[in-house]
Structure 1
Amino acid sequence: MRAVLCKAWGPPESLVVEERPTPRPGPGQVLVGVKACGVNFPDTLIIQGKYQFKPELPFSPGGEVAGTVLALGEGVQGFAVGDRVIAATTWGGYAEEVVAEAGRLIPMPDGMDFPVAAAFTLTYGTSHHALKDRAKLQPGETLLVLGAAGGVGLAAVELGKAMGARVIAAASSEDKLALCRAHGATDTIDYSREDLRERIKQLTDGRGVDVVYDPVGGDYSEPALRGMAWNGRFLVVGFAAGRIPSLPLNLPLLKGCAIVGVFWGAFTRNEPQRNAANLAELMQWIGEGKLKPHVSATYPLERAADALNDLLRRKVQGKAVLLTGR
């Protein structure tokens, strides 16, 4: 099988495509023939040795795939060869075949194609866990989403609307904000030309926002925190801007707000039953048409570096997906 390999820590250009032996599923595992693999910001970190997990070299990046079951390990029940599935893998997905834990597979809904399925789990799982479990977002509350045209950001926009919130989307260009409005944003902020803090004040009549969803970090975190309402919740999701901000801790004191961390991967391992219930709810919403994952670009395996660099340069709206051609 072909696989994109990280043989040494480095940038996307250091990745290579090579033939590798087909892996074998062990007890409780499933071999998945990969049709599509989602491209996510953690992939850019894991190949540099900067992510929470550091696989043994060489390895393939890629944490979410969609494909068909090729073989079952000992003791696996509930799946059969040929089933269409979505699998969370943490890494290993940039390949034609990958072994996944059976407990981290979910059946693909009828009518869902492989690229959309591969673009769904990580972004919507992260954003759903953030808004439901960590922020406890309520109908009628105001949600501000930073980096709102990116993968997790656009998912948060859609989920915020589905959960009955007023959604303010913040992004860096009008075309990105137009996409956010098409996916449910009520109001928008172009923080490339507008003052983020002042615009929050204008849109909320000085009250502030109840929840901030921040996958960006950098220079945008502090003004967003200053725009919080009383009893607000500031969700720390990631640092796509490349810099982890230092926030003045007097702000949560003065505003009576909370800074809350979001780590969906750890949640899936520590609370698998709650995660399974969340995924079931997401699948229901997909079936009801409440959620429409947006895939803006697809690439063959050989162009994995291009996909990652486009993600780093913020050229990707919604999700980018690798296709194996199988």
Structure 2
Amino acid sequence: LGCGGPVLLRFRISALALASQSGDRGCRTAPCTELAKPLLLRDLPAPPLQPHQELNVCPLLLRVYVGIHFCGLIFADILACRGLYQDRHTPPFTPGTEPLGSVMETGENVSAVKEGNRVISVTGSKAVAAECVVDEKVRTEHLFSQITEEFHLSVQGFSPTFPLFILPLPPRETVLVMAGAWATGLAIIDLAVNMFQAKVTTAAGSDPKHELALTSGSSHRVNYNQGSLREEVKALTGDRGVNVAIGGDIFKAALQSLAWEGRIVVMGFARGKIPSIPTNLLLLKNVSAMGVYWGQYQQEDFPLFSSTISSALQYCQEKKIHPHIGAVFKLEEVDEAFNHVLQRKSTGKVIISMK
């Protein structure tokens, strides 16, 4: 490995005792101590690097101490702190699923990474903190020199790329992207236009967000607060409809906007309302509906998970796609970051900086 090159870690966060075995080093974190309440900054003892005795039975377990530089904020973090996410966490817990940082220290049996290597991964929690200990197998990926652009292509940046790789998406198909100015929407537009030569229509609720989506490569825009999404899409596609719709919040209208044998991809529900599928609409146009719970692929199909991340990182390094960072908040501003997203002010990726 080249020193300092980012590495993709396949890991899970361990339940760690707070008593530190790493000297007097402390760790600043923003735990959720009570659901639906503000996060409170705390300085906790650094978690121990040495494995617990019960972990010694598995020789593949590795432990790596990561100093976190940035953590991407996703809507699931906010839902988790309100007790509304499908993966429930019991307080106290630290939110944050997409850390990027540098290896500070490794266990005796770790050989795949070394001190100073930059690492990127997806976790279930724990990343809104200055440091964390990770374990499990380490898988190396492409090495790059840049750290800022790569990072925010994690869960919300990478997850929209996933359906584009597995649908499949033939060149020059038409794609409807809901919430096109958020991190997920902008990443889909960027990848669909620049790597799959797709013609993208963006659905958003305000003109400024439309302008950002158009700048990112969208060909057309539809304001779903000012008219019928279905009728607008029909007019733009010569009454055919779009081949693919990606999103979740305006599901029925998007489903009605599909062409014959169209595909609709469900990735989340940022407004909190989970719609039902009118199955007769699937039948009438031979439509396919698929869900993408992207993070679960880390456990179920890690080779596909990691190859998707590799491809997105490579496209970014080659300047074929151009991720958009909308806002950066300091760790002590984490509640302001949450409110920024909840009030629908965010565009592009929102990042928590530990620096």
TM-score with structure 2 setting the length: 0.85
CA distance in 2, matches of 1:105, 1:120: 17
Counterpart secondary structure, 1:320: strand
- Is residue 2:246 matched to residue 1:213? yes
CA distance in 2, matches of 1:154, 1:248: 28
Counterpart secondary structure, 1:234: strand
Q: 1:2 aligns with which of 17, 28, 33?
A: 28
Q: 1:289 to 1:283 in 2, by over 3 A?
A: same
Q: 1:58 to 1:108 in 2, by over 3 A?
A: farther
Q: 1:74 to 1:256 in 2, by over 3 A?
A: farther
Q: C-alpha root-mean-square deviation of aligned residues, in Å?
A: 1.7
Which residue of structure 2 aligns with residue 45 of structure 1? Answer: 79
Which residue of structure 2 aligns with residue 120 of structure 1? Answer: 153
- After superposition, give the CA deviation of every residue in 1:15-72 in whole Å (9 maximum; x if it has no partner): 1111111123444232111111111111011112222222342111010011111111
Residue 199 of structure 1: how far off its partner (Å)? 0.6
- Is residue 2:237 matched to residue 1:204? yes
Q: How does 1:182-197 map to 2 (within 5 A)?
A: 182-197=215-230
Which residue of structure 2 aligns with residue 81 of structure 1? Answer: 115
Q: 1:108 to 1:2 in 2, by over 3 A?
A: farther
Checking the alignment, whether the CA contact within 8 Å between 1:66 and 1:117 is kept in structure 2 is no
Which residue of structure 1 aligns with residue 11 of structure 2? Answer: none
Extract structure 1 runs of 4+ deviating beyond 3 A: 101-108
Amino acid at match of 1:49: G
Q: 1:263 to 1:105 in 2, by over 3 A?
A: farther
Which residue of structure 2 aligns with residue 142 of structure 1? Answer: 174
Which residue of structure 2 aligns with residue 264 of structure 1? Answer: 294
Q: 2:278 aligns with which of 248, 251, 261?
A: 248
Counterpart secondary structure, 1:276: helix
Q: Which of structures 1 and 2 has the bigger CA Rg?
A: 2
CA distance in 1, matches of 2:189, 2:212: 10
Checking the alignment, whether the CA contact within 8 Å between 1:83 and 1:107 is kept in structure 2 is no
Q: 2:184 aligns with which of 147, 152, 156?
A: 152
Report the identity percentage: 33
Q: How does 1:1-326 map to 2 (within 5 A)?
A: 1-10=27-36, 13-25=37-49, 26=51, 27-101=61-135, 103=138, 109-113=144-148, 116-133=149-166, 135-161=167-193, 162-214=195-247, 216-217=248-249, 220-325=250-355
Q: 1:108 to 1:23 in 2, by over 3 A?
A: farther
Amino acid at match of 2:28: R
CA distance in 2, matches of 1:208, 1:60: 43
Most deviating of 222-231 and 186-195: 186-195
Structure 1 unaligned blocks of 5 or more: none
TM-score with structure 1 setting the length: 0.92
Residue 300 of structure 1: how far off its partner (Å)? 1.0
Structure 2 unaligned blocks of 5 or more: 1-26, 52-60
Residue 104 of structure 1: how far off its partner (Å)? 7.0
